[in-house]
Amino acid sequence: NKQVILRDYVTGFPKESDLVFNDATVDLSVPAGSNKVLVKNLYLSCDPYMRIRMGKPDPSAAALALPYTPGQQIYGYGVSKVVDSGHPDYTKGDLLWGIVGWEEYSVITPTIYSHFKILHTDVPLSYYTGLLGMAGMTAYSGFYEICSPKKGETVFVSAASGAVGQLVGQLAKIMGCYVVGSAGSNEKVDLLKNKFGFDEAFNYKEEKDLDAALKRCFPEGIDIYFENVGGKMLDAVLLNMNLKGRIAVCGMISQYNLEEQEGVRNLATVIYKRVKLQGFVVSDFYDKYSKFLEFVLPYIREGKITYVEDVAEGLEQGPSALIGLFHGKNVGKQLIVVSRE
């Protein structure tokens, strides 16, 4: 069973050598009544929060994600097929998504909301690593539950072409909002405007003054900011928020590899402008997963919601694909194909 192992805790930007391969002989038995399920992993999801798990134990992050154990395999969201089951709710051939090891086969013990059976297979199966999985639920719950959007409001999304951002932008357009996204290359900016239907987009790496870029795109200010990056972008956004605006703090990828987090200079704006700034974690909303599917599947089938994936072939490509997230190498949702069947 080929596995990806964390060599040691990571400081700074992760390197490919922080992840090593091991061909382990592991116990794959799932006796009846054990509630264990043996799965073959088909697709694995690369997610920014995995960097938090690669670092030394951090008490402030413990409520989100405990660290991986050096010398042991890493794990994350994936799409898998049941090979054998000792669990009454799963049988051979079932498809599911949820947390699995970065390996060819995993033994899992599904509990409520730890894994979800895949019942709709008329859409690409890989979507369950992103659009129809954790990232999609993040966009859906963050936008509707935290941002409280209203038709006609102005919405800004950072890391907008990524797994979460591309859906947030499309949901905001469906809601009838004016939507602007930022991304780190002109190719991504083109996707935002011409594939995902954002009204405006800019390449933040080419803007000398982020405040000026936001003022150009939002002459009347920002009502809603879907925060994915943190750092300088958050500071610039704070200068442009409207009265009673909302900021959904989903992620701060610009901070994950820093040993000390950057300060936020303009935070007092949240008082003056009565801004609601709220962090959230997607797993708190997993009880709404079937409602999400009911909402999103018709849009996908009608071609009204689209999704771009960046597909790496083979578990061997996993480390570079994961690390690429922190350099903006991925165009769309980054996933790994371990096996196509």
Positions touching ligand NDP (CB under 6 A) are 47-49, 135, 138, 159, 161-165, 183-185, 188, 228-229, 250-254, 280-282, 325-326, 328, 330, 333
Tokens of 120: 């709709």
Nearer to ligand NDP, 90 or 143 (CB): 143
Q: Which residues of 128-164 are buried (b: 16+ CB within 10 A; e: fewer)?
A: bbbbbbbbbbbbbbbbbebbebeeebbbbbbbbbbbb
Query: Furthest-apart CA pair in the chain: how many Å?
Result: 63
Nearer to ligand NDP, 21 or 326 (CB): 326
Question: From CA 243, how far away is CA 303, in angstroms rounded?
Answer: 35
Min separation Cβ 205 and ligand NDP, Å: 7
Rounded to whole angstroms, how far apart are CA atoms 116 and 139? Answer: 18
Q: Tell me which residue has tokens 């963050």.
A: 142
Q: Is 246 or 333 the residue whose CB approaches ligand NDP more closely? A: 333
> Measuring CA to CA, which residue among 245, 261, 315, 305 is closest to residue 76?
315
- Shortest CB 226 distance to ligand NDP, Å: 9
Q: Between 85 and 161, whose beta carbon lies closer to ligand NDP?
A: 161
Smallest distance, ligand NDP to C-beta of residue 191, A: 10
CB of 252 to ligand NDP, least distance (A): 6
Q: How far apart are CA 132 and CA 210, in angstroms?
A: 32
Q: Where are the beta strands (DSSP E) in the chain?
A: 2-6, 19-23, 37-45, 75-85, 95-101, 105-108, 115-117, 154-157, 178-183, 200-203, 222-227, 241-249, 276-279, 309-313, 333-337
Cβ 39 to ligand NDP, closest distance in Å? 22
> Could you tell me which residues come within 8 angstroms of residue 105 by beta carbon, excluding any fewer than 6 positions away?
1, 28, 38, 39, 40, 41, 83
CB of 73 to ligand NDP, least distance (A): 21
Buried-exposed string 249-272: b where 16+ CB fall within 10 A, e elsewhere = bbbbbbebeeeeeeeeebeebbee
Helix ranges (H only) for the chain are: 50-54, 134-141, 165-174, 186-194, 210-217, 232-238, 269-272, 289-301, 318-324
**Which is it for strands 75-85 and 95-101: parallel, antiparallel or unpaired?**
antiparallel
> With respect to ligand NDP, which residue has the nearer C-beta, 162 or 245?
162
- Residue nearer to ligand NDP on the CB measure, 108 or 253: 253
**Cβ proximity to ligand NDP, 185 vs 317, nearer residue:** 185
Residue in the block written with tokens 């303009």 = 266
Q: For the CB of residue 197, give the shortest distance to ligand NDP in the complex, in Å.
A: 17
For the bound state, the minimum distance from the C-beta of residue 307 to ligand NDP, rounded and expressed in Å, comes to 11
The smaller minimum CB distance to ligand NDP, of residues 61 and 83, is found at 61
Smaller CB distance to ligand NDP: residue 175 or 250?
Answer: 250
Q: How far is the CB of 190 from ligand NDP (least distance, A)?
A: 13
